[in-house]
C-alpha cells in the first residue's frame, strides 16, 4: 500500500499506520521529521518508516509517537554531531524524544562521529512509558542517553553498542534480552557500559540489564586484551545499576566495575549488583569489594525486574512488546 501499512499491535490487534515515510516517494512523506510534524501530539500516531538511511536530526516533544521500521539495521536514522565537533553533549543527539509514551520498533539510531568525536549521542530518550523493541543504538562514547528522571523505559531485543559510558543518564530503565556490544575505543581509553546518574537515594531510577548478552563487537574482539572493559561506573553519588541472568564474555575485567575518577567515596553510596550471570566474564571472585557492590540473591534481584522496577505489567501489554515480568 502506498499510504498505509497494517501493523500488528498488542494482543494481535491490527493497527493502521497514520503515515508512511519513504525516501523514494512511495509514502506520504520523504522524511521522518515531516511525518512527526504532522502528528497531533495528543493521541497515538503511528509512523511506518520504510527501509533506508535517513540522515536527519530529530527533536520532538510530542506524546504518543510510534515509529515502526523494516528492521533495526534496515531502517536507520543517522547523524554525526559530537562534542568534539562543536555540539553540546545533549545537542549531539541524532534523535531526541521528550514526549511521553514513545514507541520505536524495528528501527536504528546511529551517531557516526566515531571515537574521535568524543561524546556523541545516538538516542536521547527522556520519555516516560517509552518502549524500544528490536531497535539498534549505535555509537561510541555516550551512545544512549536515558535521562527521564523517575520515569520508566523498557528496551527489549535491542543492540546497543559503544565505548565509554555508552548507556548513561538517570531513567528507571530495564534492558531485557538485549545485545550489549563493546566497540574499540581510542588508544589509552577504557570501555564502560553503564554510567547511571542517580543523585539522591530517594530516586527510583537506575539501570537493570536482564537476560542479555555482553560481548566484544567485531572491531574490539581481535584486540580486546589491550583495553580494560567494565560493566559500569558511578557517574553520580547514588548511581544504581544491576546486571542479572545475563551472559558476560571475558572482555569484561574481573573487577567488573570501575571508579569514577576522583570520586572514590562513591563506592560507599552507589548500588551495583549482579545476580545469576553466566559466561567467562561472570566470575564473582575478582569483583570489587566496595560497600556498595552486592552479590544479589533472588529476593533482592526481583526488585529490579520489569514488574517491580518499572511497573511494566500495568502499561507494557498495551504496547505490543514482548516482556518477562519477573526473574
Active site residues: 165
Cα 6 from Cα 17, distance rounded (Å): 6
In whole angstroms, what is the distance from residue 81 CA to residue 251 CA? 29
Which ranges of 12-122 would DSSP assign to H, the alpha helix? 32-37
Dihedrals phi, psi of 146, to nearest 5 degrees: -95, 90
Which one-letter DSSP state was computed for residue 318? Answer: G
Nine-digit cell string for 280: 567467562
242-260 b/e (C-beta count within 10 Å ≥ 16 → b): bbbbbbbbbbbbeebbbbb
C-alpha cell at 314: 500495568
d(CA 140, CA 126): 20
Work out whether strand 6-8 and strand 14-16 pair parallel, antiparallel, or are unpaired.
antiparallel
Strands annotated E in 13-122: 14-16, 19-21, 45-49, 52-55, 58-60, 65-68, 75-79, 95-97, 103-105, 108-111
CA dihedral over 281, 283, 288, 291, signed as positive or negative: positive
Contact (Cβ atoms closer than 8 angstroms) between residue 166 and residue 143? yes
Which of 235, 227, 231 has its CA nearest to residue 214? 231
Helices (H) and strands (E) in the chain, counts: 4, 28
CA distance 200 to 206: 11
Partner residues linked to 19 by β-bridges: 47
Amino acid at each position: 500500500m502506498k499510504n498505509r501499512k497494517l501493523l500488528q499491535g498488542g494482543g494481535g490487534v491490527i493497527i493502521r499506520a497514520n503515515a508512511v515515510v519513504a525516501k523514494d516517494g512511495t509514502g506520504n512523506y520523504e522524511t521522518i521529521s515531516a511525518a512527526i510534524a504532522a502528528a497531533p501530539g495528543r493521541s497515538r500516531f503511528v509512523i511506518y518508516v520504510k527501509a533506508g538511511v535517513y540522515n536527519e536530526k530529530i527533536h520532538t516533544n510530542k506524546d504518543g509517537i510510534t515509529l515502526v521500521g523494516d528492521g533495526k539495521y534496515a531502517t536507520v536514522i543517522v547523524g554525526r554531531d559530537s562534542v568534539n565537533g562543536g555540539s553540546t553533549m545533549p545537542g549531539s543527539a541524532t534523535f531526541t524524544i521528550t514526549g511521553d509514551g514513545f514507541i520505536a520498533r524495528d528501527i536504528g539510531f546511529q551517531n557516526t562521529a566515531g571515537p574521535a568525536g568524543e561524546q556523541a549521542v545516538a538516542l536521547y530518550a527522556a520519555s516516560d512509558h517509552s518502549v524500544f523493541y528490536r531497535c539498534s543504538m549505535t555509537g561510541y562514547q555516550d551512545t544512549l542517553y536515558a535521562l527521564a528522571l523517575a520515569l520508566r523505559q523498557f528496551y527489549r531485543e535491542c543492540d546497543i553498542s559503544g565505548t565509554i559510558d555508552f548507556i548513561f543518564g538517570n531513567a528507571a530503565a530495564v534492558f531485557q534480552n538485549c545485545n550489549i556490544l563493546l566497540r574499540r575505543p581510542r588508544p589509552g581509553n577504557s570501555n564502560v557500559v553503564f554510567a547511571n546518574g542517580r543523585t539522591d537515594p530517594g530516586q527510583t531510577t537506575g539501570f537493570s540489564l536482564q537476560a542479555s548478552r555482553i560481548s566484544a563487537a567485531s572491531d574490539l574482539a581481535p584486540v580486546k586484551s589491550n583495553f580494560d572493559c567494565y560493566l559500569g561506573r558511578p557517574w553520580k553519588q547514588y548511581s544504581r545499576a544491576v546486571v542479572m541472568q545475563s551472559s558476560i564474555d571475558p572482555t569484561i575485567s574481573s573487577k567488573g566495575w570501575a571508579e569514577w575518577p576522583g570520586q572514590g567515596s562513591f563506592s560507599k553510596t552507589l548500588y551495583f549488583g549482579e545476580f545469576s550471570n553466566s559466561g567467562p566474564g561472570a566470575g564473582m571472585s575478582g569483583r570489587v569489594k566496595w560497600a556498595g557492590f552486592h552479590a544479589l540473591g533472588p529476593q533482592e534481584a526481583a526488585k529490579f525486574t520489569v514488574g517491580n522496577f518499572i511497573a511494566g505489567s500495568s502499561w507494557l501489554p498495551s504496547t505490543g512488546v514482548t516482556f518477562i515480568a519477573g526473574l
